[in-house]
């Protein structure tokens, strides 16, 4: 015990020092300039994507063209649609209006939801997609780190071959195959354990939180039912998504671990007689995890962008599914809104990756 206390203290001091050093380095000129540049670069990227998407949606024509009908009825309908979508204004004013709507989080008239302000719907979509994507990311990461390390440690043995084969299958298997296999086996005509699609049973009553707080037994029962229902619906899409992401991360960790384990300082640690566990989990993992952490930071943004196919397979009412439907309706506010929400997330996660790069790897020259 007497021996351990100074070690712990040492660790604490070194952690404190690290934090202090990091704060110092943030304050120092070079890092600040670097970060400021990274942040400033995001703005043109954001506007570039917005203009590109706006131009693409606008060149798809007017949603009024989709109206089926003839004669005076059609003229009236077209006039109403053009008024609703603001198509009477010149293009740059339309873009400006859209920008204002986006930053006030109202998005403008939506033909898909048929409301002037689809923000509650879009908030719900974001929640639905996040509820599916981020747990999958979390499970995949926490499983892939041990898997990748075990594979790298037992290189060319049967464990490594197995893990590599699993990873290969995982990232080669499209989600519309793994998803439908799961649906055939566990839902519908198969075992019928899990629901085959959707995020909740239709017309499920909402929870009255006031009643739950008061201890109303019916409301608590409803709450329990709703949570169970949510989890049941989540299982199959979560398995399909996790399998895919697990494969990606396992490959990444395995290859960076292999590279690190071949370095000279690992050899030196071995020669010094350090236990294998310390070498792998402390010396090697610390360096091997750097590319993975930046990749995770990037995935926080791109996870939402890859949603359309998964959500179509599991009829999940999220961003991707609504995005595809709204494209067929030329619903500009929803198309642009979803694209820019995801672009914003991607850019912010890029920034996060840059920051983490500086924090984790002090060798990095800026």
Partner 1 sequence: MPEIKKSKSIIKGTQYTMNKKDYELLTRDIADSVNIREGTVLDTTLQSEKWYQTVWMRLKENKFAMISFYYTIFVLIMAIIFPLLLPGNPTDTSGAYTASYGGSANAYPTLRHPFGTDNIGRDIMTLVIAGTYNSMIVGVFSTTLFLSIGFPLGLIAGFYGGRIAEFILRLADFFLAIPFLLVAILGIQLVTKYGGFLSEFPVPVIILIVIGLFGWAGTTRLVYSTTLQVLTEEYISAAKTIGLSNFKIITKHIIPNVLAPVIVIGTIGIASGILAEAGLTFLGFGDILSDVSWGTVISLGVPNIVLHSNQVIIPGFAVFFIAVAVNLLGDALRDALDPRLKK
Compute the least distance from the CB of residue 48 to partner 1, in Å.
5
Closer to partner 1 at the Cβ: 219 or 317?
317
DSSP string, 317-365: -SHHHHHHHHHHTT-HHHHHHHHHHHHHHHHHHHHHHHHHHHHH-TT--
* Residues 109 and 84 sit within 8 Å (Cβ to Cβ): yes
Compute the least distance from the CB of residue 208 to partner 1, in Å.
36
Closer to partner 1 at the Cβ: 173 or 359?
173
Residue 247's contacts (CB-CB under 8 Å, 6 or more residues apart) are 166, 167, 168, 169, 170, 171
Closest CA to 299 of 126, 149, 122, 136: 136
Residues belonging to the chain: 366
* Residues 100 and 171 sit within 8 Å (Cβ to Cβ): no
* Residues 163 and 254 sit within 8 Å (Cβ to Cβ): yes
Closer to partner 1 at the Cβ: 242 or 312?
312
* Residues 324 and 317 sit within 8 Å (Cβ to Cβ): no
Using CB under 8 A, list all residues that contact partner 1: 41, 45, 48-49, 52-53, 56-57, 59-61, 156, 168-169, 171-174, 176-177, 180-181, 183-184, 188-189, 258, 262, 302, 305-306, 308-309, 312, 323-324, 327-328, 335, 338-339, 342-343, 346-347, 350
Closest CA to 138 of 242, 293, 256, 228: 242
The region, left, alpha or beta by phi > 0 then psi within -120 to 50, assigned to residue 107 is: left
Compute the least distance from the CB of residue 102 to partner 1, in Å.
15
Q: Which CA distances in Å does 15 have to 5, 22, 131, 357, 359?
A: 15, 10, 34, 18, 13
Closer to partner 1 at the Cβ: 219 or 304?
304
Closer to partner 1 at the Cβ: 145 or 167?
167
Compute the least distance from the CB of residue 220 to partner 1, in Å.
35
Q: What angle do CA 212, 132, 306 make, to 5 degrees?
A: 150
Closest CA to 207 of 192, 232, 228, 187: 228
Closer to partner 1 at the Cβ: 187 or 289?
187
HSE value, Cβ hemisphere, 13 Å, CA-based, for 251: 15
Compute the least distance from the CB of residue 176 to partner 1, in Å.
5
Closer to partner 1 at the Cβ: 126 or 309?
309
Closer to partner 1 at the Cβ: 16 or 36?
36
Q: What angle do CA 308, 303, 59 make, to 5 degrees?
A: 50
Closer to partner 1 at the Cβ: 175 or 219?
175
Compute the least distance from the CB of residue 193 to partner 1, in Å.
15
Compute the least distance from the CB of residue 183 to partner 1, in Å.
7
Closer to partner 1 at the Cβ: 220 or 356?
356
* Residues 106 and 205 sit within 8 Å (Cβ to Cβ): no
Compute the least distance from the CB of residue 136 to partner 1, in Å.
17
Compute the least distance from the CB of residue 17 to partner 1, in Å.
32
**Cβ atoms within 10 A of the Cβ of 273, count?**
6
Compute the least distance from the CB of residue 135 to partner 1, in Å.
21
Query: Could you tell me where the beta strands, DSSP code E, fall in the chain?
Result: none
* Residues 160 and 148 sit within 8 Å (Cβ to Cβ): no
């Amino acid at each position: 015990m007497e021996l351990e206390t100074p070690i712990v203290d040492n660790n604490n001091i070194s952690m404190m020092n690290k934090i202090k050093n990091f704060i110092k380095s943030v304050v120092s000129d070079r890092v600040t300039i670097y970060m400021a540049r990274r942040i400033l670069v995001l703005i043109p990227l954001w506007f570039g994507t917005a203009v590109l998407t706006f131009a693409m949606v606008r060149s798809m024509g007017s949603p009024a063209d989709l109206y089926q009908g003839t004669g005076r009825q059609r003229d009236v309908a077209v006039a109403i649609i053009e008024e609703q979508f603001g198509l009477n204004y010149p293009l740059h004013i339309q873009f400006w209006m859209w920008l204002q709507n986006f930053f006030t989080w109202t998005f403008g008239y939506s033909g898909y939801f048929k409301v002037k302000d689809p923000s509650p719907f879009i908030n719900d979509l974001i929640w639905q997609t996040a509820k599916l994507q981020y747990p999958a990311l979390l499970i995949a990461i926490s499983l892939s780190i041990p898997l990748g390390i075990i594979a790298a440690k037992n290189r060319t043995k049967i464990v490594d071959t197995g893990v590599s084969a699993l990873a290969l299958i995982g990232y080669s298997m499209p989600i519309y195959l793994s998803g439908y296999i799961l649906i055939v086996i566990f839902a519908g005509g198969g075992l019928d354990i899990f629901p085959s699609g959707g995020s909740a049973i239709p017309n499920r009553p909402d929870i009255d939180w006031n009643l739950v707080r008061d201890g109303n037994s019916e409301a608590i029962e409803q709450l329990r039912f709703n949570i169970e229902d949510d989890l049941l619906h989540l299982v199959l899409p979560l398995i399909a998504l996790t399998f895919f992401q697990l494969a990606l991360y396992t490959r990444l960790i395995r290859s960076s671990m292999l590279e690190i384990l071949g370095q000279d300082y690992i050899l030196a640690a071995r020669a010094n007689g350090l236990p294998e566990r310390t070498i792998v989990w402390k010396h090697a993992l610390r360096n091997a995890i750097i590319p993975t952490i930046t990749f995770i930071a990037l995935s926080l943004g791109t996870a939402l962008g890859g949603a359309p196919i998964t959500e179509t397979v599991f009829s999940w009412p999220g961003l991707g599914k609504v995005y595809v439907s709204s494209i067929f309706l030329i619903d500009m506010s929803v198309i642009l809104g979803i694209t820019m929400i995801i672009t914003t997330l991607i850019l912010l996660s890029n920034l996060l990756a840059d920051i983490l790069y500086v924090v984790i790897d002090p060798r990095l020259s800026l």
